[in-house]
Amino acid sequence: MKLTNWRWWQWGAVSLVAGAAVAFAFTQVDPDSSAAQSVPFSQLRNRIERRTDTGESIVTRIRVSPITVDGNGKKMQVVSYWEKQRNRTTGKWDPTQQFTTRVSNPLGPVGNKSAMDFLNETKKQIPTLDYKFQWWLEARTIWLTCLAGSFLLIGVLWPILLKILIKMGLAEPPDERMDLSAVRTVDEPTAEPTGPLVTAADHQQLSDLTAAMEANVAGMSVGSGGGASESRPHADMPVKDLGVGERLTPVAIPAAKEDPSDFKGEFYPVARPIKKDD
């Protein structure tokens, strides 16, 4: 089947399948697989509480991923950040190294809180704390984004682009289809009997006629002897002589001539010549 013959709902179905496959692949990726190091959350908390000369935290660019479940069934949350160090040449605090940590939820040392709850409370003490929640990594967001993006690209934009390519002569046109939209099916009425209808009165009339005929022939009998001659007066009349018997003259039938031909054959008779004896 040509791709140019596909309809919009077929492209839509393909787009949803492709989007679901991409979303499933993204949700199976570990968010901290590319992290440089891994440190415990207690060390992260201590680093966040450390400040520079200007009162800012030495930790910056904090990115908190959504809560996931590890292989042991525990809820985990990945936190990545950059740590500032003093530049001996300029004397400034510059972010020089990236770290990451897996935080268990709820946070044991901090109480029944998530990493975002802890950072929200810490921001009250350190207003310049730089952190952000990576909402785009949530499974629900990934599924919605992949499905919507795939449907927009494959189910909407691609069919439009394909029609443009066909008009430009860069793609093979679709096969012609018979348009049956104007055809309407009509239920044929059932044929009604056109002959005479037999009613109950007709049956009763036939029964009355049959009874009358049986009553008429009940007293009739076939006679013999005199009764038969009376009913058939021509039965005893003599046979009339036509008077032509004496004038009939017998005619002799000539003998048939012998046929000298000889007929012989296995399936059909064939005439054969007869050899005469000398």
The separation between the first and the last C-alpha atoms of the chain, rounded to the nearest angstrom, is 95
Q: Is the pTM of this model over 0.85?
A: no
Judged against a pLDDT cut of 80, whether residue 258 lies above it is answered with no
Measured CA to CA, the distance from residue 93 to residue 54 in angstroms comes to 10
- pLDDT at 146 exceeding the cut of 90: yes
| Residue extents of the structural domains in the chain | 3-27+141-166, 41-133
Burial 157-188 (b: 16+ CB within 10 A, else e): ebbeebeeeeeeeebeeeeeeeeeeeeeeeee
> What is the Cα–Cα distance from 149 to 34, expressed in whole angstroms?
26
Higher pLDDT, 256 or 224: 256
Is 138 a residue whose pLDDT tops 50? Answer: yes
**DSSP state at residue 246:** T
Identify which has the larger pLDDT, 273 or 129: 129
46-75 confidence digits (pLDDT tens): 888 888 888 888 888 998 888 887 777 777
Render pLDDT for 171-217 as a digit per residue (tens, 0 to 9).
777 776 666 666 677 666 666 666 677 788 888 888 888 888 888 87
